[in-house]
Structure 1
């Protein structure tokens, strides 16, 4: 809406004049916007719209936004809105002019089917998180750590699950020599880890591991016009 937002605040709405009281703007001061907030209310009271207005407001002042949108309610902010009668009427009631707008949006998708794929390399995830993800016991986690250590010492990047499988096979084949430095490595333990990797692959995890890996900088971009990109 025109004249709705100053550079130091995000406009959220305006009260209707009632009982002789003048209309008042409801806004979020940008200097307070780094604090925690909670939007709550019954179904249909405008929680999602409020979050959308916040996302648009941050974008408008050049602040990138990340929003986890399970139902796809926010996808429309990437397209130019329509000046529908009820929107124009509502804007007029609060003394504003309705102007359709669009915002820079990047869609992210774990599977890479409906947006840019969210990826990470096996090396970046690390043995601790990967062991938790696969539910490994202490012995299996120890062997997984050995595989990562050997890869580091040999300057090998573990990009995807295929790389990790190959490294585990290498560790198993050289168990005798590696065992003198890192402790016992049994074929049964390596086999158990390989089976857990198979479970991950069957659940679609192979689409998550790989390059290019997601960087925090990918979520902190602005467009050519200075608006913050909204990451959904």
Structure 2
């Protein structure tokens, strides 16, 4: 558990950490940007910090980008260099508790839904349908 009551959001140009009070982090937020600008990493870091603070995190992760939080990482190459360039980050790789929902109930927590709530894209994916 961290000893701080602040979320680390990034750093200013001069290297000073940019933080947000954990007490004030109970509002809606939007993370938007072009491809490759760090949206997924930002969401991962927020989920990690909330989890460290004892806050349960629910993330609707359609593409599966965030499910890697459940495994201990071992940064290498350019990623390790980037982390080393940000000493204020104090990054220590660790695994976080993750429960994945599974519509089929095979490899995760079963999700109960009806066919009408699924929609054509999800239903077509479950049935492994092709465009034809």
TM-score between both structures, scaled by the size of structure 2? 0.74
Alignment match of 2:75 (pick from 80, 83, 108): 83
- Structure 1: segments with no counterpart, 5+ residues: 17-21, 121-129, 135-202, 204-232
Residue 52 of structure 1 and its aligned partner are, at CA, apart by 1.1
Aligned CA distance change for structure 1 residues 85 and 6 (closer, same or farther; 3 Å)? farther
Q: How does 1:4-15 map to 2 (within 5 A)?
A: 6-15=3-12
Tell me if 1:105 matches 2:98: yes
Alignment match of 1:47 (pick from 4, 22, 39): 39
Separation (CA, whole Å) in 1 of partners of 2:79 and 2:21: 25
Match of 1:27, SS?
strand
Partner of 2:49: 57
Separation (CA, whole Å) in 1 of partners of 2:35 and 2:47: 20
Residue 99 of structure 1 and its aligned partner are, at CA, apart by 2.3
Q: How does 1:22-33 map to 2 (within 5 A)?
A: 22-33=14-25
Separation (CA, whole Å) in 2 of partners of 1:27 and 1:113: 40
Structure having the higher helix fraction is 1
Match of 1:36, SS?
coil
Separation (CA, whole Å) in 2 of partners of 1:98 and 1:104: 18
Whether contact under 8 Å (1:110, 1:118) holds in the other structure is yes
- Structure 2: segments with no counterpart, 5+ residues: 118-122, 124-132
What is the Cα-based RMSD across aligned positions, in Å? 2.4
Separation (CA, whole Å) in 2 of partners of 1:33 and 1:90: 27
Separation (CA, whole Å) in 1 of partners of 2:107 and 2:23: 35
Separation (CA, whole Å) in 1 of partners of 2:25 and 2:35: 25
Q: Relative contact order: is structure 1 or structure 2 higher (C-alpha 8 Å, sep ≥ 6)?
A: 1
Match of 1:89, SS?
helix
TM-score between both structures, scaled by the size of structure 1? 0.44
Partner of 1:74: 66
